[in-house]
Chains A and B, each alone.
Chain A
Amino acid sequence: MSVLLAAVVGGLFAIGTFLILRRDLVKVVLGVAVLTQGANVYLITMGGIEPGSFDTVPVLATHGDYVPDTADPLVQALVLTAIVISFGTTALALALTYRAYQENETMDVHQWR
């Protein structure tokens, strides 16, 4: 599972970096969004996935025989905050993109004065 998540994080960062380096402004903003999602998936991964035990998850004591794998809930709380922040930033970036298009009449970053 960790290897899969590491590959996903690496893939998201690769796609994000590639898109940020494009000339088309919309692709740049998409790249920003993908990159921050990569960071979010990485944060989730940092919580780790372990066999549950009564020590780490007290509520499992009343859960019966079957004990599922558990993950650290703190990173999930952190990631919610990070998602909200990246949502706000992406929305602002899209608004600025529209504004830049109105001003320059082009989406090509290289044609900006």
Chain B
Amino acid sequence: MAMTEQIVIGPMLAALGSIVLTLSTRRFRRLQRAVSVAGGLAYAGAVGALAWRVVLGAGPAAYQVGGVDAPFGITLVADELSAFMLVIAGAVGAASIAFSAAYVDPDNQAVFYHPLFHCLLLGVAGSFLTGDLFNLFVWFEVMLMASYVFVAFYGGEQHTAAALRYLVLNVFGGALLLLGVGGLYAVTGTLNMADMARRLAAPAAYGIDVEPVLGLSALLFAAFALKAGLVPFQFWVPGAYRAAPLPVVAMLAGVTKKVGVYAIVRLYFTVLGGLPVQVDVLGVTGDSALALLGPVLLLTGTASIVLGGLGAVVRDTFEETFAYSSIGQVGFIVVPVGVAAMADAEPLRRFAIAAALVYALHHALAKGLLFLATGAVRSATGTNRLADLGGLAGRSPLLGATFFVGSLSLVGIPPLTGFFGKFLVFDAAVRRAAATGAAGAAGVVVALLVGAVLTILYTSRTWTRCFWGARTPPVEDAAVDPAHAAAGAALDREGYVDVIDPVGGVEE
């Protein structure tokens, strides 16, 4: 008899309840906003309770949907990894919804903004919690459906164009995902991730051909890498981020990208980790599916870091700078995952995964903060072009300080989260280089260094251009709303609290 714990569905129920309540109160705008912010806090609270239960309490928890036992029913599982990712979603989600209530124009908020936002949160929670491969596809689509509408939200010509590109691309990714899921079902005879991992660890006992699994996992990898915006799947990122409302971009960059990274980690390390298969492709040899994942992730990760960094240096608006910056930062997250996949020793593998997760948390908080600060700049000055801005720090010290802290965190100055993230990522890459002595491993460290230098370059460029120097006319006329700057600052403060707790949970 499988254990069923109601607490696992807490975050999903909070999001679902908020959808219903924000829909039913949409005639009363102020009430709807209050309900929505309360819903965001309830979501964060449910996530916190779940993380408390999983990380500090009795370990992983499972919920059998409809009381149908695994492996036949749909199982929702909260282990340390899901709980950690949910904490990121809860922190960024609550801050973004609070910021939205103040930032997005009330007429626009009345048009299904809040129900859709909670739909996005629901899809994210479902993706992190599900223990069923097909169900993962469904939650991906729930999440994407909300984000399509958000990209098209303002309804201008660039917005609809960006939304259509984003939609067509993700439908293609969804079809790849379906092919991978259906194929894995045909090969293994199950959709439950835990059951699949058990069967794949002993393929002979279940009559499973191991070779097709590798090819199918590559299809799934492509679908997840598309969601994560890794090079060569990065081209949708700038357009979509330029079009969507900024609080939603904080969610898209901070959380939904991480869903792709999470799915890669979940699939390869949990489901395929035990698969005994001889790999010999293009000079890559090894005895598990991870041997193939490692070089691919290191290659795409370093390419993302360099391309994203170079792209961010030459952009002329805030959104585009940070969109390219996100491409680079996701590279920083997947490089340690690649190191973990190629690690021979268990301690290095665990350490590298922990490094990736800390970096994911850091990026979600820092980039969320910067996108919210960008929203505050735009609502105050009416522009987002770097060339039109100058002297903002003197005009609004609070906004300047918020932006400064976010930039420092992105660069990696202690005691901000970025320092821990960068430190652990470099440590993992250097340990691998020391252990193998290969030229490729040293090349990865060099690429990380280049990425770090580029980060300093583009953050200091936006800072000196827009916050220092003579005040330009838009800045002089700006009306800074302290509530906007404060919402960003609140997100930043959460960073200090969060970074201590989940790391202990992952490394225990």
- Interface of A toward B, CB cutoff 8 Å: 20, 25, 28-29, 32, 35-36, 38-40, 42-43, 46-48, 74-75, 78, 81-82, 85-86, 88-89, 92-93, 96-97, 99-100, 103-104, 112-113
Which residues from chain B contact A29 at a C-beta distance below 8 Å?
A: 168
Find out whether the CB atom of B172 lies under 8 angstroms from the CB atom of A20: yes
Find out whether the CB atom of A96 lies under 8 angstroms from the CB atom of B167: yes
Which residues from chain B contact A48 at a C-beta distance below 8 Å?
A: 186
Find out whether the CB atom of B167 lies under 8 angstroms from the CB atom of A92: yes
The 3 lowest CB-CB distance pairs between A and B, nearest first, are: A103-B157, A46-B186, A39-B175
Closest to B156 in A: A103
B178-213 vs A, CB cutoff 8 Å, 1 = contact: the mask equals 110011011000010000000000000000000000
Question: Nearest Cβ distance between residue B342 and chain A, in whole angstroms?
Answer: 32
- Interface of B toward A, CB cutoff 8 Å: 134, 137-138, 141, 145, 148-149, 152, 155-158, 160-161, 163-164, 167-168, 171-172, 174-175, 178-179, 182-183, 185-186, 191
Contacts A89-B145, A99-B155 given: A35-B164 contact, CB under 8 Å? no
Q: Which applies to chain B's interface (DSSP): helix, strand, loop or mixed?
A: helix
Find out whether the CB atom of B179 lies under 8 angstroms from the CB atom of A39: yes
Closest to A93 in B: B167
Contacts A46-B186, A48-B186, A93-B164 given: A85-B141 contact, CB under 8 Å? yes
Closest to B144 in A: A89
- The residue from A25, A42, A89, A96 contacting B141, defined by CB atoms under 8 A apart: A89
Find out whether the CB atom of B160 lies under 8 angstroms from the CB atom of A93: no
Question: Nearest Cβ distance between residue A76 and chain B, in whole angstroms?
Answer: 12
Which residues from chain A contact B186 at a C-beta distance below 8 Å?
A: 46-48
Q: Which applies to chain A's interface (DSSP): helix, strand, loop or mixed?
A: helix
Which residues from chain B contact A32 at a C-beta distance below 8 Å?
A: 167-168, 171-172
Measured in the bound complex, the distance between the Cα atoms of B160 and A96 in whole Å is: 6
- The residue from A35, A40, A103, A112 contacting B171, defined by CB atoms under 8 A apart: A35
5 other A-B residue contacts (CB within 8 Å) besides A82-B137, A89-B171, A93-B168: A35-B171, A43-B178, A48-B186, A85-B141, A89-B167
Find out whether the CB atom of A82 lies under 8 angstroms from the CB atom of B178: yes
Find out whether the CB atom of A28 lies under 8 angstroms from the CB atom of B168: yes
Question: Nearest Cβ distance between residue B192 and chain A, in whole angstroms?
Answer: 12
Would you list 15 pairs from A and B whose C-beta atoms are within 8 A, ordered by A residue? A29-B168, A35-B172, A36-B175, A39-B174, A42-B179, A42-B182, A43-B178, A75-B182, A88-B145, A89-B141, A89-B148, A96-B148, A96-B152, A103-B156, A104-B161
Measured in the bound complex, the distance between the Cα atoms of B178 and A46 in whole Å is: 11
Find out whether the CB atom of B171 lies under 8 angstroms from the CB atom of A100: no
Measured in the bound complex, the distance between the Cα atoms of B156 and A89 in whole Å is: 20
Which residues from chain B contact A82 at a C-beta distance below 8 Å?
A: 137, 178
- The residue from A46, A86, A96 contacting B183, defined by CB atoms under 8 A apart: A46
Measured in the bound complex, the distance between the Cα atoms of B185 and A35 in whole Å is: 20
Find out whether the CB atom of B185 lies under 8 angstroms from the CB atom of A100: no
From B137, B168, B174, name the one whose CB has the most chain A CB atoms within 10 angstroms.
B168
Measured in the bound complex, the distance between the Cα atoms of B187 and A47 in whole Å is: 10
Which residues from chain A contact B171 at a C-beta distance below 8 Å?
A: 32, 35-36, 86, 89, 93
Question: Nearest Cβ distance between residue B429 and chain A, in whole angstroms?
Answer: 37
From A36, A96, A97, name the one whose CB has the most chain B CB atoms within 10 angstroms.
A96
Contacts A78-B134, A85-B138, A85-B141 given: A100-B178 contact, CB under 8 Å? no
